[in-house]
Structure 1
Amino acid sequence: MDLLFLVLVGLVTGVTTVLFGFGGGFVTVPVIMWVDASLGESAAVVSVATSSAVMVVNAAVATLATPRSVLRHLLGAEHLCALLAVGGAAGALLAGMAPSPLIHWGFVGYLGVTIADVVLRPGFLRPASRTPAATAFPIPSFLGVPIGAVASFLGVGGSVMTVPLLRRGGMPMAVAAPLANPLTFAISLPALGVFLLGNAGVAGTGIVGLIDVRSAVVLLVSAIPVIVLLRRRPPAVGDTVHAWAYLGLLVIVIAAAIGAGVH
């Protein structure tokens, strides 16, 4: 049952990577918490570490399949990407030392704040009227370290911070979501390196460092064909519907994460 469940989640992860730029983190974390519940206190950090592995590969595949015309919007984001990587490594180090409840309920709290933000503040569900500046990337470089640190600490890749910021900068969802993938890669790659060198004493089948390699492989094998297919034949989704679907997925994930905590 665990294997079938992971395959189904992998398919969903492929869809969310393309449509919302999630890379898999928001779906992977609560799922791995459930699958690896037998690890006890280590389940939360293993879920975050495994999420980083899934996001590195998914984000890389999605970025490579993204049209160059979309990726050109990253011009001017070089310093931001470097600082995202620094934050990603720092957050992974902190996650390896943090107590499990802090990671788990931090994940829930982060989602709750994000949902409130996209609902209450203009510019996400109600698109910004202005167009993106020709020379300035919508996300300031100084936000790179905090975004990267929070994202890797919670295993979320940063897309739920970067997509709303890009959208409020005037980008439609069809551009903001794909751009979240290379930004997620910048965060997750150094985080993955830290997690691979993490506490090898975590007991469990298929655990390397702090990563559940077996679960990560199943999720990736299921997700990658979906990512490639949807990038080549993207579904026609209206901008407003796209934004509301993004919000709806966040609500589903926070419900799953709360359920995992109660369980």
Structure 2
Amino acid sequence: MLLFGLGVLSGVTTALFGFGGGFVTVPVVYAVAAAGPGAMHVAVGTSAAVMLVNSLGATVTVARAGRLHREYVWPLAAFVAAGASLGALAATSVPDGVLHALFAAYLAATILDSLLRRGFVHGSERRPLSRATVTAGGLGIGAVAAFLGVGGSVLTVPLLRRRGLPMSDATALANPLSLPVAAVATAVYLTAPGPAAIDPAAAGLLLAGSLPTIALLRRWSPAIPDRAHAVAYLGLLGAALVTVLA
């Protein structure tokens, strides 16, 4: 029931905040699998599999709604995918405790950066992505996201927000940009040697809760004021950090 309920929450965050589920599923699966070996690796691998399905469904919704702004998605997505292959491979050889500590540090750094630097909470003037951001930035986003099993939304949403996009568009575009990360990471974890790094039972229960929720929010998506949307995004990151540390 815990996994199913958190699957519902994962569906809400996917549809409204662009989280493919990583910040929800990693702490929860880690807690469930904490008694077993390699719990953090199982959490990250399972998160990637859940994000793959959730992000694909949300991306289809964004495309059908005509909100898939190509200039912000391509070729950034290609560089994100390339970086993801490196990050996922690296994660399979990192000690479990190190991966857990880096996940918490990543959350904390993102929250502080979004609060202290201008452009996230209040927005900024709209600008295109630079070549350096698309190439080097895309590789870095993919590598970090796949390494930690978080899909990349916590990097792409602040990035697009500081390029002047409203939160509704920035979070919507986070799903197609998370899709290559989830696909690459899932493939790496499925083929990695050693014990299985994806828990099919946990993934199934999480998806049983998330997929109907995403479908429901496709039809009845609430209108959230832009600034409140940004503050709520940071609030969810803070809740995820507390969960990981606890």
Q: Give the structure-1-normalised TM-score.
A: 0.89
* Structure 2 equivalent of residue 124 of structure 1: 120
Q: Deviations over 1:86-126 (max 9, x none)?
A: 11111111111000111101000000000000100111112
* Structure 2 equivalent of residue 78 of structure 1: 74
Equivalent residue for 2:198, pick from 184, 208, 211: 211
Question: Are the counterparts in 2 of residues 138 and 166 from structure 1 also a CA contact under 8 Å?
Answer: no
Equivalent residue for 1:249, pick from 208, 218, 236: 236
Q: CA deviation at 1:137?
A: 8.9
Q: How many residues align?
A: 245
The structure 1 segments of at least 4 consecutive aligned residues displaced by more than 2 Å after TM superposition are 74-79, 135-142
C-alpha separation in 1, matches of 2:132 and 2:225: 22
Q: Deviations over 1:32-65 (max 9, x none)?
A: 111111213x001111011000000000001111
C-alpha separation in 2, matches of 1:114 and 1:83: 21
C-alpha separation in 2, matches of 1:132 and 1:172: 12
Question: Are the counterparts in 2 of residues 10 and 222 from structure 1 also a CA contact under 8 Å?
Answer: yes
In structure 2, do the counterparts of structure 1 residues 223 and 76 end up closer, same or farther at CA, with 3 Å as the change threshold? closer
Q: Deviations over 1:183-210 (max 9, x none)?
A: 00011101110100113x42xxxxxx31
Amino acid at match of 2:121: L
Within 5 Å, give how 1:98-113 maps onto structure 2: 98-113=94-109
Q: CA deviation at 1:139?
A: 4.8
Question: Which moves more between the two structures, 87-96 or 111-120?
Answer: 87-96
Task: Specify every segment of 5 or more residues in structure 1 that has no aligned partner in the other structure, as ranges.
Answer: 203-208
1:156 is the counterpart of 2:171: no
1:175 is the counterpart of 2:175: no
Q: CA deviation at 1:217?
A: 0.8
* Structure 2 equivalent of residue 97 of structure 1: 93
Q: Deviations over 1:206-241 (max 9, x none)?
A: xxx310111001101110111111122210110011
Q: CA deviation at 1:81?
A: 1.1
Q: CA deviation at 1:76?
A: 5.7
C-alpha separation in 2, matches of 1:172 and 1:5: 33
C-alpha separation in 2, matches of 1:119 and 1:180: 20
1:49 is the counterpart of 2:36: no
In structure 2, do the counterparts of structure 1 residues 162 and 155 end up closer, same or farther at CA, with 3 Å as the change threshold? same
Amino acid at match of 2:166: P
- Pairwise CA RMSD of aligned residues? 1.6
Q: What secondary structure does 1:235 align onto?
A: coil
C-alpha separation in 2, matches of 1:24 and 1:252: 14
C-alpha separation in 2, matches of 1:77 and 1:137: 13
1:17 is the counterpart of 2:4: no
